[in-house]
Structure 1
């Protein structure tokens, strides 16, 4: 059932197996969006629209040999189902900007495309499916020489020749939209340009225009997406960090027509981009608890209270002496070691706090410990 929700590109990249007991063909989903669409079309049928849904999970896809791409992808995504408006598309794009900023990524760009624009150019050409497929492949590679050769070999109206020849060059800043408006005359493509204009105007209100580029020759998802598409990139990486777009035909494949848009992040690519930009920091390590008593209740109580105050706390449960534990804490970037030496009487200075770098020690009561480590929230 999920296969009917995939475009031809994803369908060809799915892993499939024969179930020797039932004789049925089993497929591992290569993308989560069709699963979300199926759930909405069945379990949420009749619920008020729109649906704003988020998810994360693993998918498997076939990849070409020696491309260096992982076949297992950890996805996290958002789907907005039930709104057919430029504002819904803009909401998704603005959200991706917020995610990239929250992750700490810098100098990223979001490339906008419009599958209806390309579809209009191809339909106006009158080319049969064979030459169209060859043309799509050439345009996806920005191969202007191959595009020119195809136009030379097949009869295409002069106006369509100009539109097709321009497709591999229609990428750059948002001024590309004006270039396309001056060159394209078929009604489907002009309507697509009007749509992308509306989305850009709304994104200007979101104050994210500086992150945007336009690629009107982008044909990714031509058999799946129905309108605006977008992908996120950072310098030094040829792999997109996320991709998304409008897919108004998908829900109907599961018996519940509804417009939809959304995006998915490839979390592995995001982490690799953060590493390249040195945006990944080691997790904070605050306190190592060393218990010199056989009784563990007091040490566990201190650990629990410190965590409730917002500190990361590990208890050294390996049997070793105090100097060895202190050395372990320093090598692992833990800032403090707290030594528990008594049962925690109110006035008893049963605790020793040691700075793992300075090696300065201070004896204190439990109340003095709370004063030294106040709540972080």
Structure 2
């Protein structure tokens, strides 16, 4: 037999294997998110892993296009692409396959996407996206619904002290359109503002010879961050109708979020413009303590489905599951999600009782495996410990009478003898606080 340690089997940089314990934690997080999506009336969509590149490119900006994996299709000779984002796929499907159905469409999805990353960045090229798209509504309430759902998911996952940063890209666009600055200068300013580089913003404005009014408006953008008072401060410097309309829209969304009771988690960031090429209104990002990147992001994108021939207003957001995993993988409830309930150790030559007991336990909702390999008790117990199985159930133990079973808590070897009736009693607390005679 080949020794696996002698096989060189590296992975490409930026992707990972997820072993069962980690995969269980990802499933736990995903199930919690999906439950919220379902409760809010969203229906699941499954998108393909491959698209024709020219079709997918219709729904992507330059940044996403530059990160897309492309290759030739041997069957057609056409260029294929692995999607770097699922939202353009949803837009294509809605526009081409669902246009005859009544609006709005409430869709959720989950999947992995691939994005090119610079070799030295250390970033993963594989992203787990779990998100929703609400298509067909041009309403502050629709935007507020996205934020409220994100807050509900984070609360359900046990987070406290998290923040949702709200932005409005139309506010920025209005100021830039009214500034009279060249496209090149606007591009430089966009990069500096996105990085919150106040001194760089001032330097660019000085070099461009911008009027004092424009300097004042643009120089304040990186500082327009905080509570609701930011809206009033922004209104005092905005000298154009487009920006004022954007502030009115943002204020309406905040009012609705007050009704949802999530105001404590909100901050306003009018200098946040990273979604400028993609979004058309409200944007938001979610941050949790101890994680340097956003764990969710989204916003309004009213122009996307039109690129596939079906104009429709839309808003949505997605969670980055691996960022969530990094922030909560050591929490007790997540750790518990990677464990299993029972391993059956059969000391009898006959297997019928072991198989029937296992089947009954599964019917009651417990996870249960049978240790089919012939080995001694200590070896079976050690296996259960390594496999993160909580209870070892021994059938045919020496001290047990007919109809009795020997139950061992793997973590500390505490044990009790139970009857089959007690074992199958749904009210019996088997959740690992075993009491009674200690045989360990």
Is the 1:105–1:279 contact (alpha carbons within 8 Å) kept by the matching residues of 2? no
Is the 1:105–1:273 contact (alpha carbons within 8 Å) kept by the matching residues of 2? no
CA distance in 1, matches of 2:190, 2:409: 63
Q: TM-score, normalised by structure 1?
A: 0.91
CA RMSD of aligned residues (A): 2.3
**After superposition, what is the alpha-carbon deviation per residue over 1:165-217, rounded to whole angstroms, capped at 9, x for unaligned?**
11111112232112111111211111000000000000000000111111101
Determine which of 109, 129, 140 is the counterpart of 1:86.
140
CA distance in 1, matches of 2:306, 2:313: 9
Determine which of 267, 270, 291 is the counterpart of 2:321.
267
Match of 2:24 in 1: none
Is the 2:140–2:252 contact (alpha carbons within 8 Å) kept by the matching residues of 1? yes
Determine which of 352, 375, 383 is the counterpart of 1:297.
352
Query: Alignment partner of 1:225: what SS?
Result: coil
Q: Point out the more displaced range, 327-336 or 187-196.
A: 327-336
Match of 2:81 in 1: 27
Determine which of 227, 234, 242 is the counterpart of 1:173.
227
CA distance in 1, matches of 2:388, 2:227: 45
CA distance in 2, matches of 1:192, 1:351: 69
Q: Cα offset for 1:132?
A: 1.0
Determine which of 343, 359, 362 is the counterpart of 1:307.
362
Query: Alignment partner of 1:244: what SS?
Result: strand
Q: Point out the more displaced range, 245-254 or 322-331.
A: 322-331
* Aligned residue pair count: 371
Q: Cα offset for 1:349?
A: 2.1
**After superposition, what is the alpha-carbon deviation per residue over 1:322-352, rounded to whole angstroms, capped at 9, x for unaligned?**
232234435655443222239xxxx932533
CA distance in 1, matches of 2:274, 2:388: 45
Query: Alignment partner of 1:280: what SS?
Result: helix
CA distance in 1, matches of 2:418, 2:334: 36
Residues 277, 232 of structure 1: alpha-carbon distance in 2 compared, 3 angstrom cutoff: farther
Matched, 1:162 2:216: yes
Query: Where in structure 2 are there 5+ consecutive unaligned residues?
Result: 1-54, 431-440
Q: Point out the more displaced range, 279-288 or 109-118.
A: 279-288
Is the 2:364–2:426 contact (alpha carbons within 8 Å) kept by the matching residues of 1? no
Is the 2:406–2:417 contact (alpha carbons within 8 Å) kept by the matching residues of 1? yes
**After superposition, what is the alpha-carbon deviation per residue over 1:82-124, rounded to whole angstroms, capped at 9, x for unaligned?**
0110000000000001111122222211111111011111111
